[in-house]
Amino acid sequence: MHIDIADTWIKRLRGLLGKPLDWDRALMLKPCSSVHTFGMRYAIDIYYFNEQHECVHMVHGLRPMRVSACSKAHYVIEIASGHCYSDKEVVTYVYRYGYLNRL
């Protein structure tokens, strides 16, 4: 899995709009505690993480034209729906490949 990082306001605003999301790609939005799927054509799985990098909430299969939020979240990882990873798999990947160094 490759994780793209959206760490500016404009990158977070654009998010996944107009982009195909392959099964092996994800998007990290930081800082972020809510996401929307307005204008999207596909559902996504969302993993919310706090500042200690603990998964505090997951949403699987958020369909287009929806909103999801978690007040405890510091950043979010979005993955194409249907390729569900456990929160431990996502956290392990983030740690293993050094994405936390970019937070």
Q: How far apart are CA 48 and CA 69, in angstroms?
A: 9
CB–CB of 53/87 below 8 Å? no
Sorted by sequence, the CB contacts under 8 Å of residue 7 that are 6+ apart come out as 30, 102
Q: Record the pTM.
A: 0.81
Instruction: Give the mean pLDDT of 66-79.
Output: 94
pLDDT digits (tens, 9 = 90+) for 1-44: 778 888 888 887 777 766 666 667 788 999 999 999 988 888 99
Task: Evaluate if residue 98 carries a pLDDT over 90.
Answer: no
2-102 adopts what CATH topology?
A: Jelly Rolls (2.60.120)
CB–CB of 52/86 below 8 Å? no
